[in-house]
Structure 1
Amino acid sequence: MLIGIPKILSPEIIATLCEMGHGDVIVLGDANFPGKRFATEGGCKFLRADGISGTALLDAILTVIPCDTYVERPVMLMQKMDRDADLSIPIWDEYQNIVARHDDRGANAIGFYERFKFYEESAKSYCIIQTGEEAIYANVMIQKGVIK
């Protein structure tokens, strides 16, 4: 056990976060996200965090790594498809609040990728973590910053 490390971060997740350099990207896929497929296609690491919500994992990760300050939007979410335009996505507000607690830019640190662009970028990431998050459109990508 370690002091000050959120207990939901498994040894594999902690090791992965330590291995990542600035500019590397980690994806938190919701329970519906085809994470294993994109990790295999892109040759990136794939980890599971079954039973852990996307909000809890995002908060825990941002407790131990900073968002990249060299890019305008280091946190990217999956944009809704046109057919879901009227659908409310309350988890986005939760993600915004979590990011604001850890990054002075708040909501300005968050951007959106169109669904298929999100998939494409996920395959290029350092790691995809499949969470137990059941909310839809709850996929989030974080670009790691420099630890000073």
Structure 2
Amino acid sequence: MLIGIDSRMTPPLLHCLARMGHGDEIVVADANFPSASIASHCTLSEAIHLPGLDGPAAIDIITSLMPLDSFTDYSALRMQIDGAPEEMGEIHTAGWEVLTPRLPENGRLSSIERQDFYAQARRAFAVVQTAETRPYGCFILRKGVVF
């Protein structure tokens, strides 16, 4: 047991976050996301599973330990809804509610088209698959630095 670590945190996820460096990205994917095939291209080639958590809960435990980046165009990305790129689904609003108070100074939240999301996810450090069932419930978080 460790003191101060959220009880929802798993050993594989904790190990992943500790290994990541500044600028590395982690995908928080919904239950429908092709996590195994996308993860096969990532630094960690096996998806990390959080079967009891939805997307915002996974974002919460990750960002409770991992700072978000403020040196690029975005700190986090959400997957856009096909045909409605500006529309925020319920899952996006819930994710942004968790992320907004954890943004560093000059941090930004943004979005990315679904097919571009898949391409970027293949270049991520790791993929975390959640039990999230709301459509387009996928995010990419970019690791920042601790000052």
TM-score, structure 2 length as denominator? 0.90
**Residues 75, 103 of structure 2: 8 Å contact kept:** no
String of CA shifts for 1:55-108, please: whole Å, max 9, x gaps: 1110111110110111131100111111x67976112111111111211569x6
Give the gaps of 5 or more residues in structure 2. Answer: none
In the aligned structure 2, how far is the partner of 1:63 from the partner of 1:13? 12
- 2:122 aligns with 123
The structure-2 alpha-carbon separation of the partners of 1:85 and 1:27, relative to structure 1 and needing over 3 Å to count, comes to closer
Q: Secondary structure at the match of 1:76?
A: strand
The structure-2 alpha-carbon separation of the partners of 1:138 and 1:105, relative to structure 1 and needing over 3 Å to count, comes to farther
In the aligned structure 2, how far is the partner of 1:85 from the partner of 1:145? 26
Q: Which amino acid in 1 is paired with 2:100?
A: A
**Residues 25, 142 of structure 1: 8 Å contact kept:** yes
**Residues 44, 123 of structure 1: 8 Å contact kept:** no
Matches within 5 A, 1:1-148: 1-40=1-40, 42-45=41-44, 46-82=47-83, 89-104=89-104, 109-148=108-147
TM-score, structure 1 length as denominator? 0.90
Q: Which amino acid in 2 is paired with 1:22?
A: H
Question: Percent identity, aligned pairs only?
Answer: 28
Give the gaps of 5 or more residues in structure 1. Answer: none
Q: Secondary structure at the match of 2:64?
A: helix
In the aligned structure 2, how far is the partner of 1:87 from the partner of 1:29? 19
**Residues 51, 133 of structure 1: 8 Å contact kept:** no
**Residues 78, 114 of structure 1: 8 Å contact kept:** yes
Q: Which amino acid in 1 is paired with 2:108?
A: A
List structure 1 runs of 4+ shifted beyond 6 angstroms: 85-88
In the aligned structure 1, how far is the partner of 2:78 from the partner of 2:104? 18
Q: Which amino acid in 1 is paired with 2:118?
A: Y
Aligned length: 145
